[in-house]
Amino acid sequence: MTIVYVLIAIVVIGLLVLGSSVRVIAQFERGVVLRFGRLLTTTRGPGLALIAPFVDRLHKVNLQIITLPVPAQDGITRDNVTVRVDAVVYYRVVDPAKVVVDVQNYHHAIGQVAQASLRSIIGKSELDDLLSNRERLNQGLELMIDNPALDWGVHIDRVEIKDVALPESMKRSMSRQAESERERRSRVITADGELQASQMLAQAAEVMAEHPAALQLRLLQTVVEVAAEKNSTLVLPFPVELLRFLERATPPETDRSATPPAAPSHDVPDAAPGHLSDPGPDLHDLAATNGVRATTRS
């Protein structure tokens, strides 16, 4: 029985030793082995990795792309505007040995460098660049973070500025500026349209001055446009050109000196009471017939 217990104890101890010496490394991980605190040159790949129990210590390093949100940072831009900017950093490990040996906690280190670089970018940039030229700022921020990260065995894949928070007073000022700019553009467009319209009207006036009939055609077209409305009363002015046409069509008057004078007509006016006027030839004949002599008074 004693021998059986000894064998069982040996088997259990062997299993414990074997379990402590076998490690499973995933496909996206790499193993860094420290033997008595000294780094081994070879890293362990994915699969089963055997290490010396109680001698070696295995550190697993994730090689996947890690997303690190950078907390919002308050800063003052180069044109003295207070803003609040946050960003996100995408990075991955390229050298597992440096990550284990050269830096204590590379996640925290990358986060601190990202925050300091973001504040530096805010101070070097203007507000317009933060709002409209983010691509260039992202590239500059990526270079600032990547320089120290390469010494730690980390590569920065991408850095993005997510949001730029502005004070409410600055938002109102920018809104008024945008409205003023749109008003200026609308006035310039209106003035340009009026200038082009005046030039075209001047050319049309010159054509109508050379050809008066064009004015009548334009008048008739206006009449047609106005007549389309059933609820309007149309007062059509008499065209002056029509008077000129009638004047040209009227034949000239004949010369009166060439025609013989007409015979004068004898009109007998009514005699006023108490006044005897010249009765004319008919009155003399009437008086001779009645045997009365008629006298004529001037």
To the question of domain 66-171 being in CATH 1.10.10.60, the answer is no
The ranges assigned to domains in the chain are 13-62, 66-171
Q: Which pLDDT belongs to residue 79?
A: 86
Q: What is the DSSP string of 258-288?
A: GSPPPPPP---PPPPTT-----HHHHHHHHH
Q: Which of 67, 62, 35 is nearest to 46 (CA)?
A: 62
Q: Which pLDDT belongs to residue 196?
A: 93
Q: Which pLDDT belongs to residue 274?
A: 42
User: Which two tokens mark 84?
Assistant: 């609040």
For residue 220, give the amino acid letter: L
8 A C-beta contact, residue 177 and residue 183:
no
CA of 198: how far to CAs of 191, 195, 201, 209, in Å?
Answer: 10, 5, 5, 16
What is the pTM for the complete model shown?
Answer: 0.58
Q: What is the DSSP string of 222-261?
A: HHHHHHT-TT----PPPPHHHHHHHHHHSPPPPPGGGSPP
Q: For 151-203, how does the pLDDT look when each residue is reduced to its tens digit (9 = 90+)?
A: 899 999 999 998 888 888 888 888 888 889 999 999 999 999 999 999 998 98
Q: Which pLDDT belongs to residue 290?
A: 41
Q: Which pLDDT belongs to residue 44?
A: 87
Nearest-angstrom CA–CA distance, 65 and 37: 28
CA of 45: how far to CAs of 31, 52, 56, 234, in Å?
Answer: 6, 17, 16, 97
Nearest-angstrom CA–CA distance, 268 and 284: 14
β-pairing verdict for 47-50 and 22-25:
antiparallel
DSSP state of 47: E
DSSP state of 292: -
Q: Which residues in the chain come in under a pLDDT of 50?
A: 255-258, 262-298
